[in-house]
Structure 1
Amino acid sequence: MNQFWMSAFSLRLMPGCLLSGLLFFGLPVHAAEPEPLPIDLHHTAWTAKDGAPYFSDRMAQTKDGWLWLGAPAGLYRFDGIRFEKFIPPNGDLHEQEIFTLKGGALGSLLIGYVYGRVGIVKDGKYSSFDEKDGLPVSRVTSVEQGLDGRLWASTQKGLFYYEGKRWQQVDTSMKIPTVTLGQTLMDSKGTLWIYGPHNVVYYLPDKERVFHQTEIKAWDFSEGKNGTIWGLTTKDKHLILISGSVDKEELALWENYPLKQDAPQFDKQGNLWESSAEGIFRTTYVGNRLVRQSMQHKEGLSGFSSEHVLSNAYGNVWVATDNGIDRFRPKRLNQIELSSNFVGPARAIAPGENGHVTVLNFDIPPPDENKLVDTTQLRNATSPPVTGSIPTLYRDPAGVLWTPRFDSTLLKTDQSGTTVIALPDEFKKVASVFAMTSDSEGGLWVAGQALGNYRLFDGKFSRMAKYPGIPDEAALCMHTGPDGRLWFGYRDNKIALLEGTKVRALGPELGLAIGNVLTITVKNKHVWAGGEHGLAHFDGQRFTAVNGIGNENFYGITGLIETHDGSLWVHSVTGISRISAAELDKALKTSSYNVRFERFDYQDGLEGGAAQRFPHPTAVEASDGKLWFSTTVGVYWIDPYQLQHDPTLPSLLIRGMQSEGKYYAPTNNLRLPQKTENLQIDYTALSFGVPERIQFRYRLEGYDREWQEAGTRRTAFYTNLEPGAYRFRVIASNGEGIWTETAASLDFSIAPTLAQSAWFRLLCALAAAFILWLLYQLRLRRLADQIHGRLEERMGERERIARELHDTLLQSVQGLILKFQSATSRIPENEPTRCMMEKNLQLADEVLAEGRDRVKGLRAASLPERDLAAELSRMGKMLMEDSTTEFFMLIQGKPVNLHPIVAEEAFAIAREALFNAFAHAKAGKVEVELDYNMPHFRMIIRDDGRGIDNDVIAAGSRPDHWGLAGMQERAKKINARLKLWSRTGAGTEWEFVLPAQLAYASGKRKEKRHWLKRRLNLPQQEDM
């Protein structure tokens, strides 16, 4: 610890040492003051185990929500969850020389140093001023910033200000002494307060350049409630009001109040805080008196002595101690102090008149203007009073209070007094009443444990069994709606509705799924049921479950209140929840919608949970609109119309990210190294209210498809990330369901390895595509070889048939002709028979010649190449001669000779299509298109005729016609694809497609095969 810290610490110990010396030497001691009361605020302490620095005697909070702490170990900042040491990315912080901290009016952190330096932290960056900028080499005791941006530094050599160029010392033109000045205070209005020689107070209003001198002598300024400015008198060190107005009675109390220590601080609610070696003291003005409260280390304070107090406008008070940090804030739930007479694990409650509430056997008056309930002189609600616990309470519409006791009696208390009514004899066996309600006739309904339900009317009890449809078991809850209908809740999702004498049973078949029904309430035409498994709404036909965000199901509901504004208050084992009318409306319109809700729990002063067995209900609304809740620990109340809401949204910040043990600062376009797969991203949100309640959602664009609900977690984890560009976005809510509209974002990328790079993947994709193409080509070649093999077999068969015909039939016919010629030569020339025979022999020669031509045509070696285009053109023109239909021939690409069999089959298919088009289609135009472009041969025949019926297309042919089927069979023989498109009244189109390797004659095929062999480096062979 350096010399400065040692001296500061010694000064704080000196008063305690002097006091010990005085006591040792036997000086008289005055009567002790009354023991301070405990501080009645929600308290949280952080110590070294939580990361808090010790002996933080300087604190400041900036407008972004960071709490800054100056400690011997350095400068720290705190977001309400985690402490972190601030190390600026630029410049030396000179942390061991820090003397004072202050939050600037424009959001920066101002730092005053021991040796004449002023530092500024803004948006995580640090800058400083020193002697070269006009500051003296002198301790900076305080530093401020006005609303106009001017900086002020009070030093041991005078007051200096900075307006953007250079620090300047105040001069006489500003009407303030230029000598050493004391502590400064910049109030919320932008007025600068300072005391000069002899502690005379000066002030400089916002945007003015001339100080005003007051007649007041004071120091240790503090801003209190409503902008009041307080100080300490120099004579007797009492409080003095410097600016603002305070009620005379209250002012007199404050000005005569004996202070514990110097440097007291008012918070924004008007309470006085005093740091002390004995702990922390708080004095509040309540009921025309000042009440001192305290907390010491043994009562939960983080340290033994308090060093500094800081408050903000949202009710939080921060106390720095010698061992950590403490936070005090108002409780939203007010607990009433119950005496030892209030026994039992839970307290039965019932509303009364004029804001009164009955708790057990005592009448509780409404809270006063200071939210206090005077429980010192409570009157009994019944006479004689009830001793012991009470299972339930009920006040009927006439104001009669019904109190069951465990001695099988029921107390009826009205204006005339208390009457004892004996319960039926059966109650002596169970001695417990679960629930009560009343009907429109003045009857009282009572549920007896393990007995069933009874009705008290005209002084007599009767069983409810006379109403068919009502379960013959004790109801767990009863409620009478505004319309007079009675509702009874039972175990296992059963509710009975009694309207007059008609009973309606409601259960799981209508969607009820809350288990044991523990409470029912009817208001504003809404019927709500709460149970062990959640909350449900009944619309008269079906039940709709109402669930909350974050998998909140509102388990164990024993209290429901719908207020006049339509909000629903739910008391369950997880706390008290408020669901707004707007959220309820969304849930009732969309059953899958999860409502947003406001939670009241231990962070609001609530202890215990809703009792599950008895007493029920655990939530009631008093006649003045205040809501009362009974838990397993105590009784609490809240005014739903006086709730303080935090309208500000949290400030979002991405702290950084970690991967493989390495930390990365949150700089945009951050590039992470190769093989980064697992990532941890830290983020936070800053709030002046309750940081623990901030909810988060995040999304990693490029990975997450939807927003991820993180709850209060401030870290996102990702695994198995791929290389690429990402954007991390996070939003937050302020704990009241209001979400930030703008997300904090961080762009980063993960570098790919060689095998993960885009160009490598592209090469792999190209290689894979090339391999697939080669495989396709090989497959196509194999298929072509198979087809051509079959075609060659057909050609060989034709040649064999031709040889057989030539060697048998033609030779035999030739022999017969020769014999007939020999016989004819023997007939005289002038005989008519000879003339006839010669004519027949000539005809036989012609038939034989035609037969030889036919046989020759069957031989492959002599098979002529067919010009398919020319043949189809001739056929089209021939068909057009006797028709009004026009014919067109289109050729795409350079014509190539087709394989003879392919040409033959293609011609046969086209011929059939043309005959159909000219004969049956009634077309105005018929087109034939031949496309020789690689890699396929394509033939299209289309017309604009009446088309073919869908039934014919589905059947494949017309009845007793085989043309369509024959066309498909011909195409199938040569592995061609023949597609038909036709629609009634829209024409017909045939498409014939065959791969080039199969379609073209051997010369073209050989060229393609040799090209493929060159690509595959295969040995080439001559075709045989």
Structure 2
Amino acid sequence: MPNNRIISLAVDREGSVWIGTAGGLSRFANKHFSSFRLGDALTNESILSTFEDREGSLWIGTESGGLSLLKDKKFTTYAIKEGLGSDLVKSIYEDRKGNIWIGTNGGGLSLLKDGKLTTYTTVDGLSSNVVLALFGDGEGNLWVGTPDGLNRFRDGKFKVFTSADGLANDFIRSIYADHSGNLWIGTRGGLTRLRGERFNIYTTADGLPNDFVGTIYEDLQDNIWIGTLGGLSKFKDEKFTTYTTRDGLSSDVVISLHEDADSALWIGTSGGGLNRLKQGKFAAYTTRNGLPDDVVYGILEDRQNSLWLSSNKGIFRLNKNELDDFANGTVGSITPVLYGPADGMITRECSGGGHPAGWRSADGRLWFSTIKGVAMIDPEKIKLNDQPPPVAIEQIRVDDESISPAQTIELSPGKSRLDFYYTALSFVAPEKVRFKYKLEGFDSDWVDGGTRRVAYYTNLRPGRYKFRVIASNNDGLWNPAGAAFDLYLKPHFYQTYWFYALCTLILAILVWQLYRFRLKRVESQFAAVLQERNRIAREIHDNLAQEMLGISVQLEVVARTMPASAELAKTHLDRVRILVRHGIAEARRYVWDLRSQALDKNDLPAALSDTARRLTTETAVSANVEVSGTFRPLSPLIEGNLLRIGQEAINNAVRHAQAQTILINLKFDARRVQLSVRDDGKGFDYQESKNGEARHFGLVGMHERAVRMGGSLRVDSHAGEGTEVLVDVPING
């Protein structure tokens, strides 16, 4: 214990006893004391009180240092503070004995063994304190790559190899020992293979796409894969096969490689994200698809079928099943789990420029190089936060005016901008709390707000809304209940339903008045036409017909007084008399056609009867008029046109059809009226009459009258079967 003076005691959910003393904090667990002093998340050594919250974090009240928070971390870090040669780590490797070797930038080579760090530098024979590459061979040698040559560490001693010994270049960027006993050394001047004591060099002249070799890997089929600045190469049977962006790679700068149990090769690039080569086809995953970064320094795989990638933006975990689904087109994006300082890392930025930049040790732990030491995590022992965070709505701002949150809020008309501020209470990693929100009545689905804690809405329509927000903790566990409140935005008077109804009513009245105006205008035009027809009829009756009648009378007188001997003159005189009588009859018919006296004093059925009787007088034709349905008054326009159509049809039957019987039927129903004129005459070919050169003007006129009334006219006639003229019009025209 740090001090014998005990001030506070607390027991956590795991049964550990926390002891606050005047000299620091101590934990008693598994019959063992562990102490926390000033600097170990403590601002003062005098511990007055301790409290464990629902997420398992420990709050510590100190005497004069305020409040401290002690929480579990997923990562364990090793930096200069723990004895590392330098914080900037370039490469990591575990040897066959379980020792972790760490190559640093300027601090030499560090060995982590039994929890203690030992560092080797140029003083111990290392060619440079910048260690870029590490790997061990089957003989127990550790090979160390530096900018100043290749180092072999055996029995505590270093031996240096340079270009003078056969290396392609002294700048060693990557090392790999294959199963055949070959050591592959990647330099910035090409690829070197060390077999026994013999060096073989491969460059662009031998098929490499670029001489800078950043990563080397051997797959399950014993193929050697080489990542360069110019693409990815496969070395087999002493030949290189190269893949570039032309073949589907997202970037030609390949800096990390890993093969999984399904023989899929995972390729980390600089600028192109992650690639998968499976069955000869490439699939790319970039920031456009959900990756945090397009630079992938290292790729490791855990025992739970997940890939762990290191990048400038931190370490992130990807589920391989989700990656496969994305490559197959089943899902449209990927959702990585990102780790950073909230999880125990000193910094989220990992480091590149070395090989390997990450390593999975034999016990399943994952080691990553960062710019602030080595970050280690055990995926099988990650303690997940199983407490969904409570959600609260902190503030509502309407047009930059703050409103206190309430269960229901009513806003006056004209409010245009609404800002909803919310939060979630999770102190394990507050920066990793994510939110989704939805304004029911406006949003059709949840809006992913990410880590943002405010939602903006502008120019909402008046009405009732419900704002809901939910949150997830640092491990992605959502609180589906979240927080919510009701919102009622009152409308202006011109946005109310009664105002819309009033506008609709006014519009309907305007349309009705327009219709009435148009109807009156048509009726006045029809009255003017009718007045003009009556005037012409009067003129014909009072002048032309009377003059012809006078001529006829004079001719009659001449015929009576003419001597009997004037037979030839009498013959011509009789012809003139006949022509004059015919002319008088035609003039009277024209007067009838122009002015229908039958409708002046009678309704339409009586007028049709009168017309039929007049046209069949002095003929053998029998005409009958029938009315069916309930008689309804018709407008003068419809009555006049129906009478003219009936007159024309009766006249055609008398003059052309050689009919014996004509049946006129006037049928009324609720909305329409039908006039049918049927005879038993000889009939005719209606289509020929309609389309041929002998087009009947009377039929055209009847059709035009029917259309003018908003109705239709049909003629059914066949040779020897009689004729029926049927006109159907709406009662209101």
Structure 1 residue 818, shift from structure 2 partner: 6.0
Query: Pick from 367, 392, 415: which aligns with 2:133?
Result: 392
The 10-residue stretch of structure 1 (333-342 or 597-606) with the greater mean CA deviation from structure 2:
333-342
Q: Deviations over 1:83-106 (max 9, x none)?
A: xxxxxxxxxxxxxxxxxxxxxxxx
CA distance in 2, matches of 1:979, 1:636: 94
Is it true that 1:894 corresponds to 2:632 in the alignment? yes
Amino acid at match of 1:392: A
Deviations, residues 953-984 of structure 1 (Å, cap 9, x unaligned): xxxx9999999x9799838974848799xxxx
Q: 1:557, 1:610 within 8 Å by CA — same for their partners in 2?
A: no
Deviation at 1:420, TM superposition (A): 4.1
Mapped pair 1:522 → 2:249: no
Q: 1:673 to 1:808 in 2, by over 3 A?
A: closer
CA contact (8 A) 1:669 1:746 kept: yes
Aligned to 1:326: 68
The sequence identity of aligned pairs, in percent, is 21
Residue aligned with 1:779, SS: helix
Deviation at 1:398, TM superposition (A): 8.1
**Counterpart in 1 of 2:586?**
850
Letter matched to residue 346 of structure 1: V
From 954, 957, 970, the equivalent of 2:704 is 970
Within 1, Cα distance between the matches of 2:482 and 2:565?
121
- What is the aligned length? 664
Confirm or deny that 1:541 pairs with 2:281: yes
Alignment of 1:71-220 (within 5 A): none
Residue 271 of structure 2 is aligned to residue 532 of structure 1:
yes
Give, as a single letter, the amino acid of the residue that structure 1 aligns with 2:314: G
Q: 2-side partners of 1:824 and 1:334: how far apart?
A: 144
The alignment's TM-score, normalised by the length of structure 2, stands at: 0.73
Equivalent residue for 1:353, pick from 89, 92, 96? 96
> After the TM superposition, which residues 277-676 of structure 1 pair with which residues of structure 2 at under 5 Å, given as runs?
280-282=24-26, 290-295=33-38, 301-302=42-43, 305-311=46-52, 315-321=56-62, 322-338=64-80, 342-343=85-86, 345-360=88-103, 362=109, 364=111, 373-376=114-117, 384-395=125-136, 401-407=142-148, 409-412=149-152, 420-423=160-163, 431-437=170-176, 445-449=184-188, 451=189, 453=191, 459-465=198-204, 471-472=209-210, 474-489=212-227, 494-496=231-233, 501=239, 503=241, 505-507=243-245, 510=248, 512-513=249-250, 516-525=253-262, 526-530=264-268, 531-532=270-271, 534-539=273-278, 540-545=280-285, 553-590=292-329, 593-611=332-350, 613-654=352-393, 657=396, 661=401, 663-664=403-404, 666=406, 668-671=407-410
- Structure 2: any 5+ residue segments left out of the alignment? 613-625, 654-664, 677-689, 715-725
CA contact (8 A) 1:514 1:533 kept: yes
Conservation of the 8 A alpha-carbon contact between 1:574 and 1:609: yes
Equivalent pair of 2:313/2:350 in contact (CA under 8 Å): no
Higher alpha-carbon deviation: 714-723 or 807-816: 807-816
The DSSP-based 3-state class of the residue aligned with 1:765 is helix
Return the alpha-carbon distance in structure 2 between the equivalents of residues 520 and 480 of structure 1.
Answer: 9
Partners of 2:256 and 2:185 in 1: how far apart?
Answer: 15
SS at match of 2:151: strand
Note if 1:779 corresponds to 2:521. no
Could you state the TM-score of these two structures normalised by the residue count of structure 1? Answer: 0.54
One-letter amino acid of the structure 2 residue matched with residue 518 of structure 1: I
Measured after TM superposition, the shift of residue 646 of structure 1 is: 2.3
Bigger Rg, structure 1 or 2: 2
Kept in 2, the 8 Å contact 1:868–1:907? The answer is: no
Contact 1:343 1:388 in 2 (8 A): no
Shift, 1:822, TM fit = 6.2
Q: 1:509 to 1:961 in 2, by over 3 A?
A: farther
**Residue 641 of structure 1: CA displacement?**
1.0
Kindly tell me: are residues 377 and 896 of structure 1, through their superposed partners in 2, closer, same or farther at Cα, counting changes over 3 Å? same
- Map 1:624-1023 → 2, pairs under 5 A: 624-654=363-393, 657=396, 661=401, 663-664=403-404, 666=406, 668-671=407-410, 678-687=417-426, 689-750=428-489, 752=490, 755=493, 761-788=496-523, 790-792=525-527, 794-795=529-530, 798=533, 802=537, 821=556, 824-825=559-560, 826=562, 828=564, 838=574, 841-842=577-578, 845-846=581-582, 848-859=584-595, 867=604, 894-900=632-638, 903-904=641-642, 933=671, 970=704, 974=708, 976=710, 996=732, 999=733
Distance 2:693 2:257 in 1: 79
Q: Which residue of 1 aligns with 2:723?
A: none
Describe the SS at the equivalent of 2:74.
Answer: coil
Partners of 1:324 and 1:995 in 2: CA distance: 93
User: CA–CA distance in 2 between the matches of 1:890 and 1:696?
Assistant: 76
Deviation of 1:389 after TM superposition, in Å, equals 0.9
Contact 1:320 1:326 in 2 (8 A): yes
Residue 626 of structure 1: CA displacement? 1.2
Do the aligned partners of 2:420 and 2:456 also contact (CA within 8 Å) in 1? yes
Q: Cα offset for 1:331?
A: 2.0
Any idea what the Cα deviations from partners look like across 1:54-73, whole Å, max 9, x if unmatched?
xxxxxxxxxxxxxxxxxxxx
SS at 2:221 equivalent: coil
Q: Residue 350 of structure 1: SS of its match in structure 2?
A: strand
Give the C-alpha shift of residue 284 in structure 1.
Answer: 6.3
Aligned to 1:118: none
SS at 2:6 equivalent: coil
Letter in 2 for 1:275: G
Q: Conserved in 1, the CA contact under 8 Å of 2:55 and 2:428?
A: yes
Task: Provide the secondary structure at the position in 2 that maps to 1:347.
Answer: strand
Aligned-pair distance for 1:560?
A: 1.6
Look up the equivalent residue of 2:319 and give its one-letter code: S
CA distance in 2, matches of 1:800, 1:569: 104
Q: Residues 439-478 of structure 1, C-alpha deviation per residue, up to 9 Å, x if partnerless?
A: 77665555443x455555672333343566x534535444
Question: What is the letter of the counterpart of residue 405 of structure 1?
Answer: T
Greater relative contact order, per chain length (Cα 8 Å cut-off, separation 6+): 2
Q: Partners of 2:96 and 2:317 in 1: how far apart? A: 25
What is the rounded CA distance, in whole Å, between the counterparts of 1:463 and 1:445 in structure 2? 11
Q: CA deviation at 1:594?
A: 3.5
Give 2:641's aligned amino acid: A
What is the CA-CA distance between 1:643 and the residue it aligns to?
1.2
Q: Cα distance, 1:523 vs. partner?
A: 1.1
Q: Report the residue type matching 1:849 in the other structure.
A: A
Give the C-alpha shift of residue 688 in structure 1: 7.5
Q: Is it true that 1:275 corresponds to 2:20 in the alignment? A: yes
Residues 440, 465 of structure 2: 8 Å contact kept: yes
Q: How far does the alpha carbon of each residue in 1:924-973 deviate from its partner, in whole angstroms, 9 at most, with x for none?
A: xxx9986665xxx78899xxxxxxxxxxxxxxx9999999x979983897
Q: Take 1:783 and 1:578, find their aligned partners in 2: how far apart are those partners?
A: 77
After TM superposition, give the deviation of residue 604 of structure 1 in Å.
1.9
Residues 637 and 960 of structure 1, relative CA distance in 2, 3 Å threshold: farther
Mark the CA change 1:504 to 1:472 in structure 2 (over 3 Å): closer, same or farther: closer
AA aligned opposite 2:634:
V
Instruction: Please state how far the C-alpha of 1:617 moved relative to its aligned partner.
Output: 3.9
Structure 2 CA distance for aligned equivalents of residues 275 and 849 of structure 1: 134
Shift of 1:615: 1.6
